[in-house]
Structure formats: structure tokens, C-alpha cells
């Protein structure tokens, strides 16, 4: 397979530096209310804000640390900014997200930019519609500034369309996935907020390892219309932001019923007036929170195919890997213990050392939905270059490791008896977790998003069929998508290597406001978020 190389093309008209932006407004770690206050005070225009982010993308995404987090830049971004500035001068701001530059995962459709799904096979595909989330963001005044790179067809951090996505805090490390581009770009201050997609952890993982807030909503809360599916019973999208308050503001806009995604009808009656109302510094006072400490085997090395003659070597290798992983886990464990103490200091009551309930099942994995959902989705697009998962795989060009994993889905259907067993398992697990929470009078559950820092990206990862890169070491993201319940990750500090770690809170269905309130109280008390040193403020012009 040809190693993918792509150079991000930013239209020349967007490369004119904003002469006043650096002098009048500091874009680093900017927030929605901070931007709006500066605009109200006439210290900032929308054009200046957008240009400042474009300057940072040009400086750092393909140069400098070369994060490779941006797939496409909106060529009309400055023109849209000018339109919003005119509305502001006329005292008619467009909405609650007026001139909020959004970084959008390239899994979500835009009719004015390509939507690649991280694949070179779709590099020229421009959908004929916008996703519902895009329509709602733009109606609220937001600008889709750029599409972010993603793991190919919503898995990991490798893309045949763009190459390897890199962690903003250490570009030799993985950014988690598959919303790794959204995570690295938001962390590096390439936009004001970002949107990601989460099937098995793809919002919360990149948020955790990039010192961001990442919210996975209850599955029926946010419309998935216009988003490539992976497993529809788990798929959702949500905000990835530098503050809890900004996540709440984005959720206010994208949440709620959409007739194009009928499952969102379940959300009627469950959407509050505003999620921002729940953000109180005292929100943790009296909250009963259960603590999950996941026990996992830290040995990840595969046994060699050769037999007994190499058994001693294999055992030594596994022991070495176990010792290494144990050392990596030890870098995050103190952060988690400190986070628990901080929760208690804010008035939370902890119920420690709970275990995820055990539910007997013959099968818990879900290989059954992907092919049907992908084929149905592609059939909605008359101009799509490929119309089925089989066509995609037969075309070649998908990164070898992703092609190998996608092949496992071919031929599986939701009519199989084993799929029913998966659904039965999930329902039994929901009941068991609800019972555990009821028995202990819990308001939420807390755990580390990852028990270890992100692993190093090995050489040649784009051409390998079988990856042995340590990806997902210490991964605790799976409970929330299995239950289809909401979870939010919030920065809980940095390892001795300077790598971020995330604290995750999980709640019952429709408890987003409550979880955001808890996350906000923890965030305000700890202030762990800090920007990466790899992408510092640009020099004033």
C-alpha cells in the first residue's frame, strides 16, 4: 500500500495575517463567553478571531509539531466571518454561538467541503446535504472552520486520507481515536470548540489525552443524521472543548428531537432549558459517587507463533511488557487518587471499590450492525464513490490494519441469533448497573478514562496489518457505550511525562446536566487544563 501523504491546503485568501488580533485579543485558551465579551467591547471582530485560528493552523498543523489534525479548511470561513461582523454591527447577532469557530470531525457531513471519513477513497466526496448538527450549529451563528482528521472509518488514529494523527502534548504519542484530530486541534487552540463522535470511546479518549472536556451524550439525545454510522445502537456525537461551560453551550444547540433520526424522539421531555444552568461550583456537595477501579491484565504482548523452543523467550518478553505497563499505570494512579480526594474536598460522598456487575453471556462484542448500517448510509448518497462496505474493501487503499478489522464485519447481520444475545446482555447489564446505583444510592460513577498515558507511535504503523503499538492500554471507556448512557471526561492532571489524563463521570440516562455540573465543580476547584507547549502563542505581528 502506498503510504498516504497529504499537504493541507489553506486558500491564499485565508493566509493574510490579522494585523490586530494578537494585539487586541489573546486567542490562547479563549472561551465562548470571553470571545463574546470581547466582541461586545469592540476589542475583537469575527474576522480577526477566525484569522487568528487560521494562522495557528498554518503554523502548527503541517509544520512545527505537525499534528496532522486538520483535514480541510473552510475556504469561505473569512467571508462567513465578515457576514457575522455585519450582523453584529447591526446589533443582530445570529445566536448563542455567534462567531464560534467549530472544528468538525470529518465523519460529519458538510455540503460545502469534502467528507472523507478518514479515507483516501472519499477524498473528493462532497455530500449534497449538511448533517443536522451542522445545520443547528450554523443556525446558532457558528462557523464550521475546518474538518478534522479522524481514524479511518472511525477507528484509532490512522488515516489513508491524511496519515498519522499526533498528540498535541507529545507528537510522538497517539492522540487516542477516532476523534483524534478534533482532540489535538482543540487542545492546540486551532478553533474555539470541536465536535467528535463516540461509538466506543472516540470522544472521551481523545479528550482525556489532550486535556479537554469530552461529553458522550445519552444515545438518543443528539441527532446522528448526516454522520457515517459504525454501530447505531452505540453511536453518538458530542462536544470536545477546553472548558465544561463551553461543552454545555454546544450541547444546548445540538441536543433534541430530529425527525431525520427517529431515535431522538426518546429525548422529548429530557432536554432542560439550558445545560448551563446546572454549572455551579457547589454541584458536588452531597453527591454520592461510586468509584470503579478496573482490574485488567497489563500483559499485551502476543505469544509467538513458534512453539516450545521459543517459550522461554516469549515468557521473558511478556514479563518485560508487564513490567513496562505496570510502570505506565503507576503514572496515572496517583492522579486518580488525588482526583478522588478533590471530589471529597468539594463535598462529594464516595462509595469506593465497586465492581462492574457481572452478567453471564455467550457473547458481548457487536460485529453485526456495521455492514448493514454502512451500506444503508452510503445508499443515501447518489454521488458517493462507493456504495457498500464490500466495495470499499475491494477497492484497496484502506490502511492495512483498518482493512483487516473491517473485514471481520462483512457478512454479519442483525438478523443473527447472536445479535439478540448481544442485546440481551446489554439490557441485563443496564439493569445490573442501575441496581448497583440504587443499592448504594449513587448519583454517578467515577473512574479514570485511561489508567495509563497514551503510547508511543511506532515506525511503519501505516503499513502494518497487525498493530502492536500499545494503543488502548488501560482503556476504561467501554462501559458507557455498552449501556448507551452519558459520560463526561474532564482533565485530572498530568503524568510525570507531561501527558494529560482524564477523570470520567458516568450517569443514568438523560443525566447530562447533572454530570456537567459535577465536572464543572471539579474543574473549577482544580484548574488542571493547560495548553500544550508544542503550539505556543504566535508572536504579535
Q: Which residues are catalytic?
A: 105, 178, 202
Q: In this structure, what C-alpha cell is assigned to residue 183? A: 482532540
Residue 119 makes CB contacts below 8 A (sequence gap 6+) with 152, 153, 159, 160, 161, 392, 397, 398
User: How many angstroms separate the Cα of 346 from the Cα of each of 57, 163, 285, 504?
Assistant: 38, 43, 6, 16
The sign of the dihedral angle between the CA atoms of 47, 49, 53, 56 is positive
Q: In this structure, what C-alpha cell is assigned to residue 216? A: 458522550
Is 389:372 a contact under the CB 8 Å cutoff? Answer: no
Residues 490 and 471: their CA atoms lie apart, in Å, by 21
Pairing of β 288-292 and β 444-448:
parallel
Per DSSP, the three-state class of 303 is: coil
Residue 333 makes CB contacts below 8 A (sequence gap 6+) with 451
User: How many angstroms separate the Cα of 528 from the Cα of each of 261, 490, 525?
Assistant: 37, 9, 9
109: nearest Cα among 137, 125, 129: 129
Buried b (16+ CB within 10 A) or exposed e, 489-500: bbbbbbbeeebb
Per DSSP, the three-state class of 102 is: strand
Residue in this structure with the C-alpha cell 465536535, named with its chain if needed: 195
Q: In this structure, what C-alpha cell is assigned to residue 311? A: 517459550
Is 77:71 a contact under the CB 8 Å cutoff? Answer: no
Q: In this structure, what C-alpha cell is assigned to residue 52? A: 487568528
Alpha helices per DSSP H over 171-298: 180-187, 204-209, 244-254
Q: What end-to-end distance do the CA atoms of the chain give, in Å? A: 43
Residues 335 and 261: their CA atoms lie apart, in Å, by 40
Residues 107 and 3: their CA atoms lie apart, in Å, by 22
Paired with 73 in beta bridges are 146
Residues 370 and 235: their CA atoms lie apart, in Å, by 11
Amino acid at each position: 500500500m502506498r503510504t498516504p501523504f497529504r499537504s493541507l491546503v489553506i486558500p491564499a485568501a485565508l493566509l493574510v495575517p490579522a494585523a490586530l488580533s494578537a494585539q487586541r485579543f489573546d486567542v490562547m485558551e479563549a472561551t465562548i463567553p470571553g470571545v463574546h465579551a470581547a466582541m461586545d467591547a469592540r476589542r475583537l471582530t469575527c474576522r480577526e478571531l477566525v484569522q487568528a485560528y487560521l494562522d495557528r493552523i498554518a503554523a502548527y498543523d503541517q509544520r512545527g509539531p505537525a499534528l496532522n489534525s486538520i483535514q480541510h479548511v473552510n475556504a469561505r470561513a473569512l467571508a462567513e466571518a465578515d457576514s457575522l461582523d455585519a450582523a453584529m454591527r447591526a446589533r443582530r447577532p445570529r445566536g448563542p454561538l455567534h462567531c464560534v469557530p467549530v472544528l468538525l470531525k470529518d465523519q460529519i457531513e458538510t455540503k460545502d467541503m469534502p467528507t472523507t471519513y478518514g479515507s483516501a477513497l472519499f477524498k473528493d466526496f462532497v455530500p449534497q446535504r449538511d448533517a443536522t448538527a451542522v445545520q443547528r450549529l450554523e443556525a446558532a451563528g457558528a462557523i464550521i472552520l475546518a474538518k478534522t482528521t479522524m481514524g479511518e472509518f472511525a477507528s484509532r488514529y490512522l488515516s489513508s486520507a491524511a496519515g498519522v494523527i499526533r498528540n498535541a502534548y507529545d507528537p510522538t504519542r497517539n492522540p487516542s481515536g477516532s476523534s483524534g484530530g478534533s482532540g489535538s486541534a482543540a487542545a492546540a487552540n486551532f478553533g474555539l470548540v470541536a465536535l467528535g463522535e463516540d461509538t466506543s470511546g472516540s470522544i472521551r479518549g481523545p479528550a482525556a489525552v489532550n486535556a479537554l472536556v469530552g461529553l458522550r451524550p445519552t444515545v438518543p439525545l443528539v441527532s446522528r443524521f448526516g454522520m457515517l454510522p459504525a454501530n447505531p445502537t452505540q453511536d453518538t456525537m458530542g462536544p470536545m472543548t477546553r472548558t465544561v461551560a463551553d461543552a454545555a453551550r454546544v450541547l444546548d444547540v445540538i441536543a433534541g428531537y430530529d425527525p431525520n433520526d427517529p431515535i431522538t424522539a426518546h429525548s422529548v421531555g429530557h432536554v432542560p432549558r439550558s445545560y448551563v444552568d446546572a454549572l455551579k461550583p457547589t454541584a458536588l456537595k452531597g453527591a454520592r459517587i461510586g468509584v470503579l477501579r478496573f482490574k485488567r491484565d497489563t500483559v499485551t504482548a502476543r505469544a509467538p507463533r513458534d512453539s516450545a523452543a521459543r517459550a522461554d523467550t516469549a515468557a521473558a518478553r511478556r514479563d518485560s511488557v508487564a513490567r513496562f505497563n505496570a510502570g505506565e499505570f503507576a503514572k496515572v494512579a496517583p492522579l486518580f487518587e488525588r482526583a478522588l480526594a478533590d471530589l471529597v474536598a468539594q463535598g462529594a460522598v464516595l462509595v469506593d471499590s465497586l465492581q462492574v456487575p457481572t452478567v453471564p453471556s455467550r457473547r458481548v462484542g457487536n460485529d453485526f450492525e456495521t455492514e448493514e448500517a454502512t451500506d444503508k448510509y452510503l445508499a443515501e448518497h447518489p454521488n458517493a464513490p462507493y456504495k457498500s462496505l464490500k466495495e470499499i474493501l475491494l477497492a484497496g487503499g484502506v490502511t492495512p490494519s483498518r482493512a483487516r478489522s473491517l473485514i471481520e464485519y462483512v457478512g454479519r447481520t442483525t438478523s443473527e441469533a447472536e445479535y439478540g444475545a448481544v442485546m440481551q446482555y446489554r439490557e441485563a447489564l443496564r439493569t445490573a448497573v442501575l441496581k448497583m446505583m440504587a443499592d448504594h444510592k449513587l448519583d454517578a460513577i467515577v473512574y479514570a478514562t485511561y489508567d495509563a498515558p497514551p503510547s508511543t507511535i511506532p515506525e511503519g504503523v501505516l503499513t502494518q496489518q497487525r498493530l502492536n503499538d500499545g494503543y488502548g492500554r488501560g482503556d476504561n471507556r467501554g462501559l458507557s457505550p455498552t449501556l448507551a448512557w452519558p459520560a463526561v471526561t474532564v482533565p485530572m492532571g498530568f503524568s510525570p511525562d507531561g501527558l494529560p489524563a482524564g477523570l470520567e463521570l458516568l450517569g443514568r440516562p438523560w443525566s447530562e446536566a447533572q454530570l456537567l455540573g459535577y465536572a464543572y465543580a471539579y474543574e473549577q476547584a482544580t484548574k488542571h487544563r493547560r495548553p500544550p507547549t508544542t503550539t505556543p502563542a504566535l508572536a504579535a505581528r
